[in-house]
Chains A and B, each alone.
Chain A
Amino acid sequence: MKSITRQKPYDEVKQLSEDFNRIFLIGCGTCATMAKTGGIEEVQAMKESLQGEGKLVTGWIVIPTACDEMTAEVISENARAIQDAQCIIVMACALGVQRVNSYLPKPVIPALDTLFIGMEKSPGHFIEACAQCGQCILGETAGICPLTACHKGLLNGPCGGTNKGKCEVDKEKDCAFTLIYERLKEQGRLDLMRKYHPPKNYQVIPRPRMTSLL
């Protein structure tokens, strides 16, 4: 699983942090490093930009995995510099931001937008693969999730907007149901495409979602 992130426009970060002159920076060594949005290089670049604005960066750290509970230890190791700061700018996905936020009373500001939970298709290219619906249907859809891969999240086949295997919203995007069809055909299992999928349960775990696995 990888959290795919994109840097917010610098002006937005600047506006979110305009009331603060002393800032501590946190990056993430996992997903945001891989996406080149919150690794060492990006955190250093942010530090320079903020210093260019006349802000004081009291310190910075790239936490190995910002969403992990070990983040608590990293924060306490940097307690002094964090104490000196008025706010924390986090260059991690929203999981990292919220993890940091849960340990500190100070304002925490996200520098990234979390786009989706996805996987790397080819170097530098990411696709969303799972909408975490709580009721996996991949066993009936040739291992391709229509809830995620179809723009409309349809279950019972392609809409009228599909064209030569592409999606109506973007000619660069594949039609999920053409992919499913081709793969099921190859497997000699097209009967699965004829199966009626009833309305989906969108409340498998009502939001806010939480569960105990113990």
Chain B
Amino acid sequence: MVSKFKQALDNGKFVVTSEIGPPKGTNIEQMNHHVALLKDKVDALNVTDHQSSVMRFPSIGGCQAIMEMNGEAILQMTCRDRNRIALQADLLLAYTRGVRNVLCLTGDAVPVGDHGTAKGVFDLDSVQLLHLVRQLEAGSDLGGNKLAGAVQFCAGATVTPEAEPLEPQLIKFEKKVEAGAEFFQTQAIYDLERFAKFMEYARQFPVKILAGIVLLSSARMAKFMTENVPGIFVPQDLIDELAKAPKGGALKKGIEIAGRTIAAIKKESLCDGVHIMAINREEVVPDILAAAGL
């Protein structure tokens, strides 16, 4: 069984991914509902791994739900909570459950989450995790021991095209490419001219780039992200546009903005696809796709 997501990337189609945030608790009904709602509308669904360092139902559990519903899952894997032994074990488990895609992340810092006194692990970093995936594929573990049954993953990573300063970020991007990353899902982008510049650079590398689309749900949220989230810059005209939306209509406006951004990226063939993050509003992803004409 090969990765359907990888096939979609290789076919040169405009690839669309979105993501599922698992619940805090054992009630997985809503998560399953989101999976059912989105699995056939996108090429693959990421499952977040204790996003923002908030303890939740595990990423691998969400991926299992996707596989049970015949969807295509991208396992988000951070280095924050597991040492190299546990990371390898979870990759083995994921593979046996049919998961064929993994997104290798450093992970947010522990103090930003809801278990602020926990020990952050970071035994490996994202570049080392990518190397680890390739080593497991070659049939041995990090200790150099032979595996009884290897894995095979389409491995990806993230990049922040508007990081400041940018060059250290690009150097790390190249290290991720060298480590075997096949695709990148970017941090949210809003300014397509600036993104086009990044793509001019990124095109020299044999990797697929999916532009990050984070749904703006209000002018306040857009302003907050620009001021507080590293590497996210929402242009003022978009903030104004959201502010001018009729009362109760900001979300609709945000869907429209996301939709037309995706449509423009596709029309101009800026990159290989998009990754839609509707953070806690998975319900409206189909509306974003419709607004994008997909």
Tell me the A residues contacting B by CB distance below 8 Å.
151-165, 168-169, 177-178, 181, 185, 190, 193-194, 196-200, 202
Given known A-B contacts A156-B172, A157-B168, A193-B171, A162 and B230 have beta carbons under 8 A apart? yes
Q: 4 tightest A-B contacts by CB? A: A157-B172, A163-B230, A156-B127, A159-B106
With A168-B230, A198-B131, A199-B123 already in contact, the answer to whether A158 and B109 are too (CB < 8 A) is: no
Residues of chain B at interface, number, CB under 8 A: 37
Nearest CB to that of B228 among chain A residues?
A163
B195 at the interface (CB under 8 A from A): no
A193 touches B111 (CB 8 A): no
Closest to A200 in B: B123
Shortest beta-carbon distance, A195 to chain B, in Å? 9
Chain A residues with Cβ below 8 Å from B106 are 152, 154, 159-160
Is B112 an interface position by the 8 A CB rule? yes
Most buried by A among B112, B123, B165, B167: B165
Contact with A along B186-201 (1 / 0, CB 8 A): 0100000000000000
Pick from B91-99, B156-164, B249-257 the stretch touching chain A: B156-164
CB pair B175–A194 under 8 Å, yes or no, is yes
Answer whether A198 and B128 are a contact pair too, CB < 8 Å, given A157-B168, A163-B164: yes
Q: Is the CB of A194 within 8 A of B109?
A: no
* Residue of B158, B171, B174 with most chain A CB atoms under a 10 A cut-off: B171
Q: Are A164 and B164 touching (Cβ within 8 A)? A: yes
Instruction: Tell me whether B208 is interfacial, beta carbon within 8 Å.
Output: no
| A199 B84 Cβ-Cβ under 8 A | yes
Rounded to whole Å, the gap between the CB of B291 and the closest CB of chain A is 27
Interface SS, A side: loop
- In addition to A154-B125, A193-B168, A199-B132, 20 A-B residue pairs with Cβ atoms within 8 Å of each other are A151-B120, A152-B125, A154-B122, A155-B125, A156-B126, A156-B127, A156-B128, A157-B125, A157-B172, A160-B158, A161-B109, A163-B164, A168-B112, A169-B109, A178-B168, A181-B167, A181-B168, A196-B178, A196-B179, A198-B131
Structural contact, A160 and B160, CB atoms closer than 8 A: yes
Residues in A whose Cβ lies below 8 Å from that of B132: 199
List 11 A-B residue pairs with CB atoms under 8 Å apart, sorted by A's residue number. A151-B109, A152-B107, A155-B128, A158-B168, A158-B169, A165-B165, A181-B171, A194-B171, A196-B127, A198-B128, A199-B128
Task: Indicate if B259 sits at the interface (CB-CB under 8 A).
Answer: no
A159 and B163 alpha carbons, distance in the complex (Å): 10
CB distance A168 to B168 under 8 Å? no
- A-facing residues in B203-251 (Cβ within 8 Å): 230-231
Please indicate the chain B residues that have their CB under 8 angstroms from the CB of A178 in the complex: 165, 168
Q: Judge whether B108 is part of the interface by a CB distance below 8 angstroms.
A: yes
Q: Is the CB of A194 within 8 A of B174?
A: yes
Minimum distance in angstroms from B142 CB to a CB of chain A: 7
Question: What 0/1 readout, one digit per residue, does chain B (10-39) give for beta carbons within 8 Å of chain A?
Answer: 000000000000000000000000000000
Residues of B within 8 A of A185 (CB): 167
| Interface contact B122-A181, CB-CB below 8 Å | no
- Complex contact B112–A199 (CB within 8 A): no
Q: How far is the CB of B160 from chain A (nearest CB, A)?
A: 5
- Complex contacts, A153 vs chain B, CB 8 Å: 122
CA distance A165 to B165 in the complex (A): 7
Q: How far is the CB of A145 from chain B (nearest CB, A)?
A: 15
Minimum C-beta distance from A5 to chain B (A) = 20
Residue in B122, B128, B163, B169 whose beta carbon sits within 8 Å of that of A152 in the complex: B122
B124 part of interface (Cβ distance < 8 Å)? yes
CA distance A194 to B165 in the complex (A): 16
Closest Cβ of chain B to A93, distance in Å, is 22
User: B122 contacts A156, CB within 8 Å?
Assistant: no
On whether A177 and B168 interact (CB within 8 A), knowing A152-B120, A196-B179, the answer reads yes
Closest to A155 in B: B125
Structural contact, B122 and A196, CB atoms closer than 8 A: no
Give the shortest distance, in Å, between B106 (CB) and chain A (any CB).
Answer: 4
Contacts of B124 in A (CB 8 A): 199
Closest to B165 in A: A178
The residue of chain A having its C-beta at the shortest distance from the C-beta of B229 within the complex is: A163
Instruction: Count chain A CB atoms within 10 A of each CB in B172, B174, B231 and give the residue with the most.
Output: B172
Distance, CA A164 to CA B79, complexed state (A): 23
* A152-B231 contact, Cβ under 8 Å, with A157-B168, A160-B160, A190-B171: no
CB 8 Å contact bits of B116-145 with A (1 = contact, 0 = none) = 000010111111100110000000001000
Cβ of A181: which chain B residues have Cβ within 8 Å of it? Answer: 165, 167-168, 171
B168 touches A169 (CB 8 A): no
